[in-house]
Amino acid sequence: MPKAMKYSQISKFLLENWFFIKRQTWSHVIFKNNKNRTVIVPKHSNKDIPWPTINSILKQAWLK
């Protein structure tokens, strides 16, 4: 299990799974799909996103 991932990896995964970028608020990007599921992903320059946050993103997307 990886310790962390980059924003680009997570966004690519969501875009491949039928999500699209709805909007961006400051340093968070809001993804949405056609089933009205909303996922908020932090986008902090070049920092890694820790595994507990990734786990939460997957739960929001119902992809776990």
Number of domains observed in the structure of the chain: 1
Q: Mean pLDDT across the chain, nearest whole number? A: 92
Average pLDDT, integer, range 10-21 = 95
Average pLDDT, integer, range 11-39 = 95
Q: Any idea what the CATH number is for the domain that residue 45 is in?
A: 3.30.920.30
Residue 64, pLDDT > 80, answer no
Residue-range definition of the domain harbouring residue 19: 4-61
Task: Count CB atoms within 10 A of the CB of residue 45.
Answer: 6
Average pLDDT, integer, range 22-44 = 94
The per-residue pLDDT for 2 is 66
- The Cα 39–Cα 28 span in angstroms is 10
Confidence of residue 52 (pLDDT cuts 50, 70, 90): very high
